Structures are given as C-alpha cells and as structure tokens.
Amino acid sequence: MSVSMSQSFVGILINSSDCFRYENNDIRDDMPDDLSPSAQIDYDRLLGGLLIEGFDERSCRSRYQFARYHRNAARVPSPYLIERLRRQEALQKKCGPGTKSYNNAAKQLMSTQSIDGISDCNYLFLTIHAGMGNRMLEITSAFLYALLTGRVLLVDRYKQIANTFCEPFPGTSWLIPSDFPLSYNEFTKHSPESYGNMLQENVIRGNTYRSLASARPPYAYLHLDGDYAFHDKLFYCEDDQQFLQGVPWLIMRTDMYFVPSLFLIPSFQDELSKLFPEKDTVFHHLGRYLLHPTNDIWYSATTYYRAYLAKADKVVGIQIRIFEKKGILQRNGPFPHVLEQILSCAQGEKLLPQIGVTDGAAAGNNRTIAVLGTSLSSWYSDQIRERYSEHRTVDGTMVKVYQPSHEEYQKKKNRKHNMKALAEIYLLSMSDVLITSGFSTFGYVAQGLAGLTPWIMYRPENHVVPEPPCGRAMSIEPCFHQAPYFDCRAKRDADLGKVVPYVRHCEDVSWGLKIVNETRL
C-alpha cells in the first residue's frame, strides 16, 4: 500500500499550487542538536577524526550534525589522512587571505619577472561555474591536488559558495579576496596564460620534454574543463607536474572529478596510498571533511528528513536524471520507459516490494519503506506512488513516496535552485539504499557522502529499457567523465583503465575512469 504524499521542503520550501518558493523569514538556524525519534544514542560528530573541535556550532550546524543523520557505517579515515588534514589547516591559516604571505604572493602575480625557487606559500585558485553536483566534485578534486602539492586552496567568492557552504578551515577563509588582481573570468584555453597553450606555442621549452631548471611564470591557468585539448591534458603527466610545482599560483577551471588521473601520476602514488588505504574512499572522506551546507540548507534537509523519512524502517533514495539528446532543458518527460526501468530495477533488486495482483496483503507486517525521489519532474514519483496505491504489496509492506521539489529544468546560475539542489543531495545521502542515474554527478555526490554503493540505472537507448535495467556499482567513488587517454610514459594513446588495478573504466561511462578498492574486486 502506498500513501499519497507530495511534500515540499518544510520551513524553506512552501507548496503553493505545486510551485515551490523560498520564504526567507522561515529560515532558522537555531535547530537543536537532536534527532527524535532515533535509535541512535551516540554518534561520531568528528567523523573519525576528519573534523576538529573549536568551530562555532551555531554558525554551521551541519559540520557536527552530519553523522546524526547518516545511519550507514562510515569508512574509517587513515591516521595519516587526519595528520595531513591538520597540516593543511595550518598551511591555510599561515598563508591564507589577509596574511603577509598572501599579500606578498598577490603582488607577485602582477610581476613581469620569472620566478626562481619555491615559495613557502603556493596557491591553487579554483574558479567555479558548474552545476551543484559538478561543483562539489571539482572542489574536492582541487582540494586533493592542493593537499598533494602543498598548496593553499582558494575558491571563487562570486559563485554562491558562501551562501551554500560553510568555511571549512579554522581561523581563515577559503574565499579569494575581492581585490584579487587578475581578471580570471576572462581566461580560456586559448589564453596566453593557459598552461596547455604555453606548451603548444613552445613558451615552455628545454630538454627532451620540459625545461625543469628554467624559471617559472608567476602563475599559470589550468584549463581542465570537458572541452580541454591535448596539451591541457598533459597536466596529468609527471614531467608537467614537476614543472608546475615551481609555479606560485595555479588558477584552475574544471567541471570534473579528476581524482582517478591523479592516482596514475607516479610521484603521487605512494602518498595517495598512505592517505587512502581504502582507495575508493577519496570523495567519501574529503567531501565530508570539506563540504558543510549552510544553516538554511541544512535546516530544510534535516527538517524534511525528520518529518517524513526518519520513522521509516528503510529509506530508498531514487535519483532520476533524464539525458535526452533533444529538448533536455524543456523536456524531462514523461518517459514511460524510464518509469519502467526504475521499477524494474527497484523491484528486481528487492529494494522495493513487488505489487500484488489482489488487495490481499501478508499478515503481521508493519514495515514501512519511504521512497525519496529526486528529479526535475514530479511525474515519476507520482506514477510510482500511484502504482503502489492501486494494490497492496505482496508482503504487506507500506510504501510511502516523497519528492521535495520539481524544478522542471536545471538553473545552475540560480541561487535558490542551487540551494534546493544541495538540500536534496544531502537528503539522498541520508538514504539506506540508493538507485542513481548513470552519468549524473548529482547521484555521485550523494553516494559518496553516504558511503553507499548504489545501483546505477544504465542510460536507455532509443527509449528502450536496458537489460539489465541497473547494476551494482564497483565502488562509491564518482566517475571521471572526460579522463585523458594519453600514456605519458609511452608518449602514445593507451587504455588507462588497465594501468593499475584500482583505476577502472566506469560502469555508466565506458570511456571514463573511477577508483575501486582492490580488496573489493
């Protein structure tokens, strides 16, 4: 049996004729640190040592409350990762905005002199432009690269970061100051400052491959977006990393989770193995360390969870993303084949019960399953709810279906849309099991935060349900969609999904790369 229920975000999103709007006067940041009713008495508020005490809890409730809303056993971070995070925090504070080191480094950006030697404070500045899922993946990727190369991570202050995420580092800010001297939004892969363009135009030259002894420019622009070209992709080569190590400022633009290719750079491999003995936990640990939604977003997510999901015996998260080649911005359905794929996956994998042909139900079953649907369209959740309303389930389980919002199309530059999207990502991560849509970064982020290995729905072709409709992912890691295929050592194209056993091709993107844990293969 299904309960017909279509609820909006409580307190933040108000349901009015199926249109959702923000009511800022309803936003509260005084939510007490409790979860009632809950079987949990104790919870690890510091996430195994990823976090430290000392932050103002009222200013960022999500930082210490995250574990309270995640019932799945989290992977344990390595002591070495915890040690390196503390060292990174000290570096961010020593060299961050407002310090003498930062001010000197910012002045150096405008210098026409080449740089000899290595500074105590080097920087990675990440520009932001993608949708919410990609945004979280690119921030995490950039942070890992900063950690590996001893750089301070700074992010674009003008792309709603302060409105969506709390400051992650104690005693400093990760937002680039407003008086940053470069017009970074004007950089493209064709800019003279682009590292790939420098290589292509032979600005950087010397011995057999790179002149590692030559003076470096004060900064370089790294174009790592999906449209990047061959010379841009040489960023992932050992010789290029050796050269870039001496460049004080790296300005990066990316919309991808490029972590798998970092695992293929020889000079990073030992350090990565120490940081992540369980190799498929990179986003799980770094995402939970770095990304803490602001109070209004956290309040909407947790209030919704407490109102509709907390009492269920199981929460099944279903993340639906439609990738139609035509009309994707205007049309997300309805597509009956997608609905059948969802139900075939959920019922075939026994994540949802089968629907009976009669109204008779198994006796003595008081079990409740809450289905949390997220989609730009409400049609799929409505149809699942209707199907379970027509007949009882074969085992008597009650199925309740919820969907917090339906925006119809993505509006990645809209602040309110991004806040809703982030709240739904965290709601999905509170599920007990997850079904995600292949190729969707929204689902990647939810599964990584949760530490859940999802069932991935494969992309249909010609409006036909794939067979099988879904499959279990190899790991909880996201997929690097536009991974390079150039073998830096052999100087030729190669299958980089076969270089090391823990970097494989993705289930949902055959040309992409993802990290898997060797012990789980």
Same domain, 228 and 123: yes
3-state secondary structure 184-206: HHHCCCCCCCEHHHHHHCCCCCC
Q: Is residue 505 part of a domain?
A: yes
What tokens does 221 get?
């622009």
Identify the pLDDT of residue 56: 96
- Write the pLDDT tens digit of every residue in 275-311: 999 999 999 999 999 999 999 999 999 999 999 999 9
Is residue 374 within 8 Å of 319, Cβ to Cβ?
A: yes
| pTM for this predicted structure | 0.91
Q: Is residue 14 part of a domain?
A: no
Q: How many residues does the chain have?
A: 521
Identify the pLDDT of residue 363: 55
Final residue belonging to a domain, choices 219, 254, 280:
280
CA 103 to chain centre: 31
Number of domains in the chain: 2
Distances (CA, A) of 97 to 54, 168, 176: 20, 14, 7
Q: Is residue 49 part of a domain?
A: no
CA distance 401 to 388: 9
Same domain, 198 and 305: no
Same domain, 105 and 184: yes
Q: Is residue 157 part of a domain?
A: yes
Same domain, 90 and 207: yes
Final residue belonging to a domain, choices 249, 280, 311:
280
CATH at 356:
3.40.50.11350
Identify the pLDDT of residue 160: 85
Range of the domain at 153: 79-280
Identify the pLDDT of residue 148: 98
Same domain, 223 and 307: no
Q: Is residue 205 part of a domain?
A: yes
Identify the pLDDT of residue 24: 38
Task: Tell me which residues of the chain have a pLDDT lower than 70.
Answer: 1-42, 112-118, 205-215, 325-333, 358-364, 407-413, 519-521
Same domain, 209 and 300: no
